Structure 1
């Protein structure tokens, strides 16, 4: 694109770029929290992170986290911070289990990402093989998909957090597991994610990446990380699949 590119031309170029990504994708790897739903829409991530910090403080472990880490609004960041100090320890295992329970609670108030349900069902009906590759608990993913009637679109390919926290994205472990178990060549796969860690994991796994940024800030973070194609809605993907764009 050039500074003289018109808005219609820009939209046409973006649609063509999107079409190329979609048409070559025989296997689609979805991140969970973001592209499929807003898991912490009701049971907020900020509250969960605060509870993690309070739980540590009650055990006299306040100094295990830096001041910056204690202010983190992301429970996964708190979990990672503890893991760095006590990798593989009982404390990390218990904190991870508590996070899993909070994620299961969050499922009940999660907001479906607009157009995600019909996109998933359409892609599945058209013969694409779908998987979830996420840092969230696979139990929470399964619970949410069952509540939306989407389980058969993914089963059994749900690859989430394990106790091996060093393998969380941006490590490509969960993507490689999905590719291996589906018998997929990375060149035939597409990862849809909403965080730089998703983009980095996809690059390491040799998988094409499509960014989903539901607002300008999230989209900018993805483009700054290097993502070449970012959408702010799942609707353009659905239109391309249905031959409406």
Structure 2
């Protein structure tokens, strides 16, 4: 005998699968966040260490008071970069800090771990005629370096939209998503954003683009759910399976 709980779980799973299939099959343009859905950029080069290094660099210049305690302890280099830009927008200090972060990201790219199923998923989407773009807060130099190492550049080129020195355009601002939509000629409703952070989700909402959350662990899933994401996968394998069923 099947319990009511088991039946309810089965119905919920079927509904989620149907929603995922609809989301994936109607996408004519796919906008990818980079660090997370495509690779773990800092898998062999700790982002926490990078953030700490940026904080220490600021402190070495006598700028300890530029950051709040929470910003210093965030262990997120983008939090540090945004905080400095808010207080000194467009300054040489921000430009140098951004260059230091780009250098660290480039170093990290050489030891980044490909996200399972990401490479074949990207190639399959391209083979089916979808247009792909990257919309990221990482440096586009870093994205290109990684894609070249995987032989994936042609799948996205020239649609790689990343961090510039106009840091107010970082996600959750939808600027890079809107650039991708305009360049690919896709209407927001026929596009799909794949991201792994609340800022990705907020940017997709502001751009009017449907969102698929990718969470490789429970913490990521919790943050996405708290941000309002309703469709989240812990693996890209079911997405690839759906596409291969279309081929």
TM-score by length of structure 2 reads: 0.96
In the alignment, which residue of structure 2 is the partner of 1:131? 133
Distance in structure 2 (CA, Å) of the matches to 1:203 and 1:72: 25
1:24-63 CA distances to partner (integer Å, 9 max, x unpaired)?
A: 1000000000000000111110000011011111111111
In the alignment, which residue of structure 1 is the partner of 2:187? 185
State the shift of 1:5 in Å: 4.4
Q: What secondary structure sits across from 2:93 in the alignment?
A: helix
State the shift of 1:3 in Å: 6.3
In the alignment, which residue of structure 1 is the partner of 2:101? 99
In the alignment, which residue of structure 2 is the partner of 1:47? 49
Q: What secondary structure sits across from 1:72 in the alignment?
A: coil
TM-score by length of structure 1 reads: 0.96
State the shift of 1:4 in Å: 6.8
In the alignment, which residue of structure 2 is the partner of 1:86? 88
Distance 1:179 1:87, change over 3 A: same
- Paired residues in the alignment total 243
Long gaps (5+) in structure 2: none
Q: What secondary structure sits across from 2:44 in the alignment?
A: coil
Distance in structure 2 (CA, Å) of the matches to 1:15 and 1:48: 38
Distance 1:102 1:4, change over 3 A: same
Are positions 1:31 and 2:49 aligned together? no
Distance in structure 2 (CA, Å) of the matches to 1:185 and 1:126: 18
Q: What secondary structure sits across from 2:78 in the alignment?
A: helix
In the alignment, which residue of structure 2 is the partner of 1:151? 153
1:48-94 CA distances to partner (integer Å, 9 max, x unpaired)?
A: 00110111111111111112211121000000111111111110010
Moved more, 65-74 or 157-166: 65-74
1:110-165 CA distances to partner (integer Å, 9 max, x unpaired)?
A: 01000101100111111000000000000000000000111111001000000000
Q: Which runs of 4+ in 1 moved over 4 A?
A: 2-5
Long gaps (5+) in structure 1: none
Indicate which of 140, 151, 165 corresponds to 2:167. 165
Distance in structure 2 (CA, Å) of the matches to 1:152 and 1:53: 37
Are positions 1:65 and 2:67 aligned together? yes
Are positions 1:233 and 2:235 aligned together? yes
Distance in structure 2 (CA, Å) of the matches to 1:65 and 1:134: 24
User: What RMSD in Å do the two structures reach over aligned CA positions?
Assistant: 1.3
1:176-223 CA distances to partner (integer Å, 9 max, x unpaired)?
A: 000011111111100000001011100111100000011111111111
Distance in structure 2 (CA, Å) of the matches to 1:5 and 1:112: 36
Distance in structure 2 (CA, Å) of the matches to 1:6 and 1:153: 40
State the shift of 1:11 in Å: 2.2
